[in-house]
Amino acid sequence: MELRTYGDAALRRKTEPIGVINDEVRELCKLMIEVMIRENGVGLAAPQIGISKRIFVLDANEELYVFINPELVELSEETEESREGCLSVPGVDASVARSSRAVVEGLNVSGERIRLEGEGMIARAIQHEMDHLNGNLYFDHISTARRQSLIKEFQRKQREEDE
């Protein structure tokens, strides 16, 4: 399964909820974990592999999490700014302000309700993956000028790779 990169329309679509957790959904989750690990990512959302479904996987606290139909249930008012990158926008990163604490709830592959509370890097990863499910990318949180510069840098690096 190919990782989608910036410019692919799949990354900008709002995802659809999963109705039934069946073998097909479980297989998709397994595949997403494999892609995340292969690409050395912390998380991966279904749109990043071209699937417009509300699923993301996360490697946090030395554990792999699968969130089906996740919802952010809490974000701290306190924010912190840190460098952030994305598997779908390789080779570039930017300083992004995010809530310093986040709580997400959803279903696991067995259909059981799960919850993850995180601070720092985990909170950032939760918010980043939730953005993907809503058709947003991390650089949507920075100034227009900085975003345009980042996109030009990404496109230049992509052209260099293609040569």
| Whether 129 is catalytic | yes
Other C-beta atoms lying within 10 Å of the C-beta of residue 74: 12
Q: Which two tokens stand for residue 156?
A: 């230049």
Q: Which of 2, 16, 129, 163 is catalytic?
A: 129
Q: Please list, residue by residue across 25-57, b when 16 or more beta carbons sit within 10 angstroms of its beta carbon and e when fewer do.
A: beebbebbbebbeeeebbbbbbbbbebebbbbb
Active site residues: 129
